[in-house]
Amino acid sequence: MINIKRIGVLTGGGDCSGLNAVIRAVVKCAISRYGIECLGVLDSFDGLIEGPSTIPLTWHNTKGLLFQGGTILGSTNKGDPFKYKTLDGDKIVEKNLSEVVMANIEKLELDGLIIIGGDGTMAIANNFWQKKKLKLVGVPKTIDNDIWGTEETFGFHTAVEIATDAIDRLQTTATSHHRVMILETMGRNAGWIALYAGLASGADVILIPEIPFTIDAIVAKIEQRRTEGRRSTIICVAEGAAPKEGKQIIWKTVRDSAEPVRLGGIAQWLCEQLENRVDSECRYTVLGHIQRGGIPTGYDRILCTRFGTAAVHAFVNREFGKMVALRENEIKTIPIEEIAGKSRLVDPDSETIRSARDTGVSFGSVAKN
């Protein structure tokens, strides 16, 4: 029926809740439905460059992964085999080690790879498909929810729940001390986490990259609330948000990374801008990598299982060079090349944004008519 004996599985990019659940689904489906052996590649594509470095994935050692955060395979967002960055003295040089990867895949007798990762990892996968004809299927992963072509990525809902819980806790201390409390979420250039967590927790101001804000508009919102007798304000701000005619705040640059620019610091900057313009004391909290960790929500566990099994079916059906995606609540496959260079961002005119505005949420800007 099929001539597939062994599939490699790797996780790339930043970690998030649900990676292990996808690994589990892939292994269980491959073994029970098709009798296919699975081999886990350690530390993303690095495991096919150095070593190679792998572990067998069996029914036994994937037991319990449904509830476990992170990835037992390890991950990295630095290793693009086509532009592998290494230090040569004080200089960073790039080497094309894609042939090393292909040679190790052949050495391991892999029929191909199931690649679990975000947009950066999918870009690497597309290069292997286009340039090397590597048989592969992609699974979209990111807490940022910004991969084009799929309506949701696993890990996003868990991150939203964590951020929502954090804002719920900030609500109580903000009310007790009549403070302006600012929470900074992750998301890079997409505002999905801030939007959903802010809306779910009743934040008064939500700032996202897709809608430039002004300090004047935020101050006006805080003053309006004080006039109405509400002496505390909650602001949820995405790390990529920026003021109108301003720039995003960069926390640091990682020279040897495929994504060297790391955003962060907007909450502190905003706090400093507001503290001399409002009567309330301002405090900020940066949630950071807490959003990536922990036990995945029930929703994410189900989505992971659907993605993982669908990836195996796609591989067996020889739908190579494609990524599984959620569309209209069904799992479908789309060519990975279609998502290259694209991002799924929040539509400023979406129904969700309108609903937020209709309940009094300020986005630090004037709403469009």
Q: What is the pTM of this model?
A: 0.93
Whole-number pLDDT of residue 368: 59
Q: Which fold has domain 159-293+347-358?
A: Rossmann fold (3.40.50)
> Mean pLDDT, the chain, as a whole number?
93
Token pair, residue 233, equals 């304000």
Whole-number pLDDT of residue 258: 60
Token pair, residue 26, equals 């892939």
Instruction: Say yes or no to pLDDT of 260 above 80.
Output: no
Positions marked catalytic: 144
Instruction: Say yes or no to pLDDT of 343 above 60.
Output: yes
Radius of gyration of the chain (CA): 22
Reduce the DSSP state of residue 173 to 3 states and report it: helix
- Same CATH topology for 6-154+295-339 and 159-293+347-358? yes
Whether omega before 260 lies within 30 degrees of 0, making that bond cis, reads no
Length of the chain: 369
Does domain 6-154+295-339 fall under CATH 2.30.30.90? My reply is no
Express each pLDDT in 13-63 by its tens digit. 888 999 999 999 999 999 999 999 999 999 999 999 988 999 999 999 999
Cα–Cα nearest to 156, from 346, 27, 320, 341: 346
Instruction: Say yes or no to pLDDT of 1 above 60.
Output: no
Q: Domains of the chain: which residue ranges?
A: 6-154+295-339, 159-293+347-358
10 Å CB burial of residue 305 (0-12, 13-18, 19+) is buried
Instruction: Of 73-77, 125-129, 208-212, 353-357, give the lowest mean pLDDT range.
Output: 73-77
The predicted model gives 164-173 an average pLDDT of: 95
Whole-number pLDDT of residue 369: 44
